[in-house]
Amino acid sequence: MRLTLHVNGEPHEVEARTDESLLDVLRRELGLLSVRETCGIGVCGACTVLVDGAPMSGCLLLAPLAEGRELTTVEGLGGDHPVQRAFEQARGFQCGYCTPGMILTAARLLEEQPQPSEADVRVAMSGNLCRCGSYVKIIEAVLLAAGRKEEVWTS
Amino acid sequence: MTDPRVTGASRYAEDVELPGLLHARIVRSLYPHARVLSVTVPDGVVALTPDDVRGLGRYGCQIQDSTVLAVDRARFAGDPVAAVAAETEREAEEAAALVEVDYEELPAVFDAVEAAAPSATLVHEQHTASGGAAAYFALRPQAGTNICHTFSIRHGDVDAGFADAEVVVEETFRTAAAHHAHMEPHATVAHWNGDALEIWTGTQTPFNLREDLARVFEIPEERIRVVCPPMGGSFGAKTFLRTEAIAAALARKVGRPVKLVVPRSEEWVTINRHAATIEVKLGARADGTLVAKRVTCYADTGAYADCGPGVAQKMGFAAPGPYRIPNVWVDSYCVYTNLPPNGAFRGYGQMQTSWASERAMDLLAERLGLDPLELRLRNLLREGDRYCTGETMHDVHFAECLESAARAIGWHEDRRGKGLSVILKGMQTPSRASVAIEAGDDGIYTLRCATTEMGQGAKHALSLVAAELLGVEPTAIRFPDPDTAIVPYDTRTTSSRSTYMMSRALEAAAADLRRNGKRGFGEVVDEGGLDPHTGQGIASTHWHQGAAGAEVRVDEETGKLEIVRLHSSIYAGRVVDQAAAELQTEGAMIMGLGTALFEEVVYRDGHVVNANLSDYPVPAFADLPGALTCELIEREGAEIHGLGETALPPVPPAIGNALASLGRSLTDLPMTPEAVLG
């Protein structure tokens, strides 16, 4: 079927099967390769997409159900978003596979809660896994983006 | 320039596209041990079957026990018996389900100690040692058994030692199989250009892989090109030959490029970490002086050896721990079972052996009525001591690491709920690293070397080293992905060796460049190795040293083990990239936390029953300790020390020892709530 997906501020006509996940369609039809599949069952967050601003697992959402909603992937943040800058500065990544999902979840957290505590970050980000275990520096990055660098727990 | 990891621009092997590319899917054995009677492929399905690969060579980095598909016998539930190719991944999945395989089930063995018995069902009838570069030590298989390698240490007179002991502790420790759970799956694209093979794959071992592929296809290594995009995590999983031969054989059969991405659920039957059973007997005088140690290790390597012999050897030579012990006897066995294969996993046998060794030290301290810190300090190796392998220890910092960890957790104020551990960890020996530097007219220097990137930060660290050596900004260094058609030889990117070995090769290359102007080549070779009969020789030219301290609380109702504080102190020599060194150390600690508390591949009748990231949890933000800290100990003028693995193995025993101080002494990993409640 043909779908119109609003991705990163632009409408896109795409071809998809009715039972296809948003993850597969974004990768194949639009080449948005920052959206990645790890678990395929909605527990790891590597395929996180902001759907009307809320982080969702692209592997669980059927593509037709994403029609008419505003979708954001990390490509849509432009590269100079405060959260991206903070991740780079704090080195909140190792292999980088989980990083787009982490950044999108953190961006949403800071919208809802501009001054999160370290504990807030841990809770809000717990749906995103980093097997490299960069968590300490990711927390640092999120607090840095919130302008709360002085509260970083490890320093 | 923004890092591609934060913009989403990173590309991994799974993202490689070629014109006309087909997608592959593996058809796997439903039985842990079965004769493959027939494979029937319906019309319209393109498949690789046992008949297609019967004429191809056998492979295996240390033992040549593998064929491209299970030709006559499937040896574990998940063993590849066929593979299909189709236009899309979905069509490949559907086609794979149409392939019919008839089996005749055979008796199977699932426990390494049972499998090591002379009467056990045999997984392989014979053990042919590989002559390849990854078989860097003499293999000692035992004919007519499931034991494919035995490593022994014979040092002093162990019976006399125990006769001299006033206190002896004896215990059997077990560690569960674990899974790497790298976030990017195993992914390979294979393409034949006439009779030359090109492979894009996530691998830590491009040259070992090329050697095995040459053996399979019986073509010269020069006709195979292995290109290594960065990996989305590996932790040892992407080493040696995994699914590359299947992709290449399919590509040759269909005459088109083939991409093979392992579905998540199949990762648990692709490669895991060795479960181990380790028997320890440790004797001391009443004042705590160690006099004898006897260790027997059984490493369950699953149905194919992979690098299991090396893992068993490392388990064996690290089993004595970083202590002066005059009488040591070690036998470490690498044993086949009908379980999925086990291979390299961050630390390579070290975690298993450190769990046993460091828990045993606390059991001994308790029996002696000594402070576990005091007992360790009394026996730790010091500068110039000889290890039980006969080699002399240099740049020794065990006591410094341990005392630092003790201070960090407030050991001297109150020991309740607290635990310590200290380890020594070898680096791949012998080994060879080489690099070429090319000076461009634009002021850019290009590094040609086989060090692969999996998130550990080797590219950045080596670029910093090169920039310093050449007196230029790091932005003037270009470090393309390794490509065996271009880069000089390197042993492999494992065992925390790359920053240490490759930075020395870079020094030589920079000196050569200064002499020659446009191009410099540098190589370092570290000789060494051990006699597998006696364990004498050079186990490691470069020892990694580290300690951990943990403070825990137990929820008496649920058995949940809460980690209040976790600290590690690691000897770093000289840190090249502070942030990356911390990331590697913290990451290793967090992985150690998963191993300590909950990670376990669960088998029922030989089948993995938790092959997904919900039933096999890995540490998340919510699992972090109350405080997680590390100290990287440096010394003026010291060499660079590898840091990729050292902080993992000390974590489980530090937590286990902390738990034991609360009266719950466990011998098996993981320490689940059920085990804690006992």
Q: Distance from B626 to chain A by nearest Cα, in Å?
A: 10
Does residue A155 carry a pLDDT above 60? Answer: no
pLDDT single digits (tens) B522-542: 999 999 999 999 999 999 999
Smallest Cβ–Cβ distance between B5 and the set A99, A121, A127 belongs to A99
User: What number of C-beta contacts closer than 8 Å exist between A and B?
Assistant: 153
Which band of pLDDT confidence, cut at 50, 70 and 90, is reported for residue B1?
A: low
State what percent of residues in chain B have pLDDT above 90: 99
* Exposure of B212 in the CB half-sphere (CA atoms within 13 A): 30
Residue of A nearest to B233 (CA): A95
pLDDT at A150: 57
Q: What is the pLDDT of residue B369?
A: 98
Residue B574 has pLDDT above 70, yes or no: yes
Inspect the interface and report whether the beta carbons of A98 and B627 lie closer than 8 Å: no
Cα of A45 to nearest chain B Cα, Å: 10
pLDDT digits (tens, 9 = 90+) for A111-148: 999 999 999 999 999 999 999 999 999 999 999 999 87
CA-nearest residue to B16 within chain A is: A33
Q: pLDDT tens digits for B221-245? A: 999 999 999 999 999 999 999 999 9
Contacting B residues, span 590-619, partner chain A, CB-CB under 8 Å: 590-591, 612-614, 618-619
Say if the Cβ atoms of A123 and B621 lie within 8 Å.
Answer: yes
CB A32 within 8 A of CB A85: no
| Residue of A97, A138, A143, A144 to mutate, interface with B, max B Cβ within 10 Å | A97
pLDDT at residue B2 in the model: 86
Mean pLDDT of all residues in chain B?
Answer: 97
CA distance B584 to chain A (A): 8
Strand order in the sheet with A70-72: A10-15, A2-7, A70-72, A48-51, A54-57
Tell whether the model's pLDDT for residue B649 goes beyond 90. Answer: yes
Dist. CA B429–CA B51, nearest whole Å:
40
Mind telling me how many Å the CA of B625 is from chain A's nearest CA?
11
- The candidate with the shortest Cα–Cα distance to B34, out of B117, B127, B136, B106, is B106
- Given CB atoms, is A71 within the 8 Å cutoff of chain B? no
Q: Provide the chain A residues 74-93 that lie in CB contact (below 8 A) with chain B.
A: 74-75, 77, 79-80, 84, 87-88, 91, 93
In one letter, which amino acid is B309?
Answer: P
Query: Average pLDDT of B333-343?
Result: 98
pLDDT-based confidence at residue B462 (cuts at 50, 70, 90)? very high
**Residue of chain A whose Cα is closest to the Cα of B460:** A94
CB contact under 8 A, B184 and A97: yes
Q: Which residues are paired to B168 by β-bridges?
A: B283
Q: Per-residue pLDDT for A154 more than 60?
A: no
Q: Which residue has the tokens 């009443």?
A: B286
**DSSP alpha helices (H): ranges in chain A?**
22-30, 82-90, 99-112, 118-124, 135-145
Where residue B256 falls among pLDDT bands split at 50, 70, 90?
very high
Interface of B with A in 28-67 (CB under 8 A): none
Q: Are A125 and B621 in contact (CB under 8 A)?
A: yes
Write a three-state SS string for B421-452.
Answer: EEEEECCCCCEEEEEEEEECCCCCEEEECCCC
Q: What is the pLDDT of residue A149?
A: 62
- Predicted local distance difference test score (pLDDT) of residue B678: 87
Per residue in B28-55, pLDDT (tens digit) is 999 999 999 999 999 999 999 999 999 9
How far apart CA B248 and CA B256 sit, in angstroms, is 10
Number of alpha carbons in the 13 Å side-chain half-sphere of residue B225: 16
What is the pLDDT, as a whole number, of residue A43?
97
Quick check: A100 contacting B, CB < 8 Å? yes
Chain B residues lying within 8 Å of A80, measured CB to CB: 2
Query: Under an 8 A CB cutoff, do B2 and A88 touch?
Result: yes
pLDDT tens digits, residue range B154-182?
A: 999 999 999 999 999 999 999 999 999 99
Strand B147-155, strand B80-86: pairing: unpaired
ipTM over 0.95: yes
Calculate the alpha carbon distances from B436 to B444, B639, B646 in Å: 14, 21, 29
Inter-chain CB proximity B455 and A99 less than 8 Å = no
Q: Give residue-wise pLDDT tens across range B583-630.
A: 999 999 999 999 999 999 999 999 999 999 999 999 999 999 999 999
Give SS3 for B197.
strand
Mean per-residue pLDDT, B381-397: 97
Render pLDDT for B78-132 as a digit per residue (tens, 0 to 9): 999 999 999 999 999 999 999 999 999 999 999 999 999 999 999 999 999 998 9
